[in-house]
Structure 1
Amino acid sequence: MEAPELFATAVPEEQLEGGRERALRRIFGPSQCLRSVERPRGVGSLPAIVQGRMWEHWQKGRDFSSSDRWEEAIICYTKAISLDPWRPLLVAMLTSLPCRANVCWTRSSTVRPWRPSHRQPSCSLTAGCSAREALSLFCSMVCLAALGEFPEFLQMLNRELEEDVRNPDAYVLRAFFYNRFEQLALCHQDIQRALKLEPQHRAAQALWHRLLRQGQEAKSQAVLKALCGDLHGALYKISLAIESDPLAAEFFTLRGTLLRLLKNFSAASKDLARARELSTVGSPEAREAQRQLVLTYNDCAVHCYALGRLDEAVKLLGEALRDERMEQGIYANRGECFFRLGELAYALADYQQALELSPGNRVVQGRIAAVLHEKGRQDLAARRFLEAEACFSMAIEHDPREALYYLDRAMAKWCLGKVESAREDVALSLWLNPTDSKILSLARHLFPRKTVQAILRSETGRLAQQTLDKILQCPPRLPSDDA
C-alpha cells in the first residue's frame, strides 16, 4: 500500500525542474563541471570552521607584528578576538603590541558608549547588546590596559561588574590584568570569585595555577636571599608569594621568621598566628609556626628587657609559656625579669622549673644561687640570722665556687655565735679569693694578727682546703707569701 503524499503541491514537476535549472545557471553560469556535485565534502562543523579562522587571523597577526606592521596586526588580532573573545592568549597578544599601534586602533575604531536599557542575568560580556557593541567595548578595555590607562580600564570593567555581579568571565578578565600589573592579592580575589560562580572555569583555573607557581618561585627566591643575608630582599619576595597564594601557611611562617629577625615583632606575631590558623592541627607546619611564634615572644621580651621594660617582658614571656611549657630558656628569661623586679619567690620558681627541664645546667644553677643569696642578704639585714644561714647554704650548694656566699654565711654564723664555723667559712672564701677586701676585713676580726697565708696553713685552713677538694675536685692554688 502506497503512503499518502505528505506535502502536496499544485506546482507541476516540470516548472520545479525549470526553476532549478535557472538557479544553477545563475550560480555557475555556463560551466557544467560543478553541476554534478550534490554536497560539498570536508567542510566540517561550524565550531571547527570558527576555530580555524580564529587561528588563521592570529597567525597573520603574529607575522605582521614580527615585521612591525602594527596596524595590520591590530586588525588581525581583533578579528581573532571577535571569533573567540575569551582566549587569554589573544588578549595577551593584543595588549603586548606597542602603544602607538593601539593608539592608531583606538582612533580608527568607532566605539560607541554602551548603555543597555535593560539586561537579563548572563555570564558573558556580550549579553544585553549586539555582538559588535560588545566587541567594541571589550577591545576598548584591552587597548586602555595596553596603553597603561589602568584606572580607565578598571572603571569600564567595574561598571560591567556592577551591572552583572555573577559574571565569571569579567572577573577572570580583571584578574588577568591584575596579574599583569602585579596586583596579585586582587588577582587572587577575582579568581576565587570566578571559581565560586563557575568552579570548572578553564581560564580561571589556568590563572590560579599560574599564581600558585609564581608563589612557589617567589618563596624559593626568598629563601636564597635569606641565606645570603639579604633579609629585606627576602621579605619582599615572600610578600609577593603571599599575595599569589594567601592560603599557604608555609609562606606566612617564613615571613614571620624574617620579620622576627628584623625585630618587627608585632608583624611577625600576626603572620605566625595566621600560619598556625591555616595549618592542620598537629602537622609539621603547625609545629614550626608554633615554635617560631614562641621564639618571637622570647626575642621581643629580650628586647624589652634591654630597654628596662620589665613588666612588658614578663607578659610576653608568659604568652610564650602559655603555648610552650617545655622550653627551659623561656623560664630562665622570665626568672631573670622577676629577679630584677625584686620578685624573688617568682624568680626562684621559674629558675627551678628551668633546672627541672635542663638538669645540671650550671648557668641556671648560678641564677638560683644568686636569688638565694639575695634572699639571705635580706634576712641578714632583717636580723633573721637562721633564715639567712639556710639561704646562704642553699646558694653554696648550687654554686660552690662563689667566695661571697661563704663570706655572708660566715657573717650569719658569727651573729649566731658560731665563731669556729664562721672561721671555716672565711678560710673557704680566702681559698677562692684571697684578695677580696670584704673577705680580708672579716678575716682580721676572726683571725686577729694573722696573715692570709698563716690562716690558710692553719688547721682551719687545711680543713677548708679538704672541703673544697671534695666539692670542686680540684685543689686550689696556694697563694704566695706576699698575698
Structure 2
Amino acid sequence: MERFQYEKAVICFSKAMNLEPKQLHVSQAEAYLQLCDFQSAVASYKQACLLEPGAFNNRLAFIYYLQHVHMSSLCFYFTHKAIVHYFVMCDLYCSLACLSAMGCYSECVKLLNDWIASWDSPNADLYTMRARLHQQLHQMVLCYHDVKSALALNPVCPQASALLLQLQERAEKARQEAVNRALSGRLPDALTKINTALQHCPQDGHLYLFR
C-alpha cells in the first residue's frame, strides 16, 4: 500500500471504531505503524488493551523496540552535546518502556543500575525512575533510599517529592494500625505493622523506638 492509502485507512478506522472496537483499534495501530507514527500506534494498542487486558503486550513491546531503534539511529545526525544527551535519554526511556510493557521490572532495575553506575553525574530523574520500579517490586526500603537520593540532587523534584509523601503517608497509616493492635493486646500484629511502617520510612527514629 502507498502512504496515502495508509493515511486514508487510519481515517476510515477512526470512523468505524464503534462497530468492532478491539479489532479496529488493532488495525488502526498497524496502519499507524506503517506510517512510522509509533506514538499513535502505541496509543491505539493501549485502547485495544483496555478491551482485552494483556492481549497485546508483546506487540506493544515490539513497537517500543522499533521506536528505540529509530531514536538511536537519529543520534548519528547530531553532534551538539545537549541534543545527543536528549537522544541518549530517549534511548534509555524506550528501553525501559519496552521492558516494562513485558512486565520485566527486575530487568529495568538492572538497566538503571548500569546507567547510574556509568553516568558521570546521574540526575534526580534516574533515581526517581528506579524508585518507582522498586515500588512496583515492593522493595520499599530501596524505593525510599532512591527517593532520598533524587531529592539530594534536586530538592524540588516534584515526582520524588510526591513519592516521598506517599511513603510517609503509608508509614503513618501502618504506625496507627500498629498502635491500635498494641492497645488491643495483639502484639505480633502490631510488630508486623510497625515493620511495614519502617520499610516505608527506614530513617524515622520514632518508629524504631515504638518497635
TM-score (norm. length: structure 1): 0.30
Between the two proteins, what is the percent identity of the paired residues? 27
Amino acid at match of 1:128: H
- Inter-CA distance 68–175: structure 2 relative to 1 (3 Å threshold): farther
Q: Does 1:149 align with 2:104?
A: yes
- Structure 1: give runs of 5+ residues left out of the alignment: 1-66, 81-93, 256-483
Distance 1:239 1:121 in 2: 46
Confirm or deny: 8 A CA contact 1:178 1:186 kept in the other structure.
yes
Distance 1:103 1:181 in 2: 21
- Inter-CA distance 251–127: structure 2 relative to 1 (3 Å threshold): farther
- Structure 2: give runs of 5+ residues left out of the alignment: 1-20, 33-37, 41-48
Q: 1:135 maps to which residue?
A: 90
Aligned pair partner of 1:160 in 105, 115, 137: 115
Q: Give the match's secondary structure for 1:100.
A: coil
Confirm or deny: 8 A CA contact 2:62 2:98 kept in the other structure.
no
Confirm or deny: 8 A CA contact 1:99 1:147 kept in the other structure.
no
**Structure of larger gyration radius:** 1
- Inter-CA distance 237–120: structure 2 relative to 1 (3 Å threshold): farther
- When the two chains are superposed, the root-mean-square deviation of aligned CA atoms in Å is 3.8
**Structure 1 position 163, deviation (Å):** 2.5
Confirm or deny: 8 A CA contact 2:105 2:136 kept in the other structure.
no
Confirm or deny: 8 A CA contact 2:131 2:144 kept in the other structure.
yes
- Inter-CA distance 174–121: structure 2 relative to 1 (3 Å threshold): farther
Q: Deviations over 1:23-49 (max 9, x none)?
A: xxxxxxxxxxxxxxxxxxxxxxxxxxx
Q: Does 1:225 align with 2:189?
A: no
Q: Give the match's secondary structure for 2:85.
A: coil
Distance 2:95 2:62 in 1: 10
Distance 1:237 1:216 in 2: 10
Confirm or deny: 8 A CA contact 1:218 1:241 kept in the other structure.
yes
Distance 1:121 1:244 in 2: 38
Q: Does 1:174 align with 2:130?
A: yes
Question: Which fold has the larger relative contact order, with Cα–Cα distance below 8 Å and residues 6 or more apart in sequence?
Answer: 2
Q: 1:467 maps to which residue?
A: none
**Structure 1 position 161, deviation (Å):** 1.1
Confirm or deny: 8 A CA contact 1:106 1:140 kept in the other structure.
no
Q: Does 1:215 align with 2:171?
A: yes
Q: Deviations over 1:72-131 (max 9, x none)?
A: 79x9xx849xxxxxxxxxxxxx9xx944332211123413396989x9998xxx85363x
Confirm or deny: 8 A CA contact 2:61 2:97 kept in the other structure.
no
Distance 1:233 1:127 in 2: 53
Q: 1:183 maps to which residue?
A: 139
More helix by share: 2
